Amino acid sequence: MNFTLFVTTIVTGLAFVGVVIVLANLIAPRSFNAQKDEAFECGIPTRGQTWMQFRVGYYLFAILFLMFDVETMFLFPWAVVMRSLGPVGLVSALFFIFILILGLAYAWRKGALRWQ
Partner 1 sequence: MFDLQNWTTALHEWMLGILPEWAAILIESVLVALIIITLYAVFAIVLIYLERKICAFFQCRLGPNRVGKWGLLQVFSDVFKMLQKEIIRMRKSDRFLHDLAPYLVVTASMLTFACLPWNKGGHIIDFNIGIFFMLAVSSIGVVGILLAGLGSNSKYPMIGAMRAGAQLISYEISIGLTMLTMVALTGTMQISEIVQQQYDNGWNIIRGHIPALIAFIVYLIAGNAECNRGPFDLPEGESELTAGYHTEYSGMHFGYYYLAEYLNLFIAAGIASTIFLGGWAPLHIAGLDGFNGVMDLIPGFVWFVGKTFFVVLLLMWERWTFPRLRIDHILSLEWKYLMPISLFNLLLMALVVVLGLGININ
Minimum distance of partner 1 from residue 105's CB (angstroms)? 10
Minimum distance of partner 1 from residue 69's CB (angstroms)? 6
Contact footprint for partner 1 (CB under 8 A): 2, 4-6, 8-18, 20-21, 23-25, 27-31, 36-42, 46, 50-51, 54-55, 57-58, 61-62, 64-65, 68-69, 72, 75-76, 79-83, 86-87, 89-90, 93-94, 97, 100-101, 104, 108, 113-115
Q: If we measure between CA atoms, which residue out of 62, 52, 53 comes closest to residue 112?
A: 62
Minimum distance of partner 1 from residue 31's CB (angstroms)? 7
Minimum distance of partner 1 from residue 12's CB (angstroms)? 4
The string of DSSP codes covering the chain is -HHHHHHHHHHHHHHHHHHHHHHHHHHS-----TTTTSPPSTTSPP-S-SSS---HHHHHHHHHHHHHHHHHHHHHHHHHHHHHHTHHHHHHHHHHHHHHHHHHHHHHHHTTTS--
